[in-house]
Amino acid sequence: MTLADLDAALLQAHADYDLDRLVTLYQKAGLSCIDANDVDAGCFYLTHAYIFALEAGTSKAREIHKVLVSYGREE
The tens place of each residue's pLDDT in the chain, 75 residues long, gives 787 898 899 999 999 999 999 999 999 999 999 999 999 999 999 999 999 999 999 999 999 999 999 999 988
pLDDT score for 1: 78
Rounded to an integer, what distance in angstroms lies between the CA atom of residue 43 and that of residue 60? 15
pLDDT score for 8: 94
CA angle 14–20–22, rounded 5-degree value: 35
Sign of CA dihedral 63, 54, 6, 33: negative
Show the beta-strand stretches assigned E in 1-75: none
Look at residues 51, 42, 27, 52 and name the one whose alpha carbon lies nearest to residue 72: 42
Q: Is this model's pTM higher than 0.85 or not?
A: yes
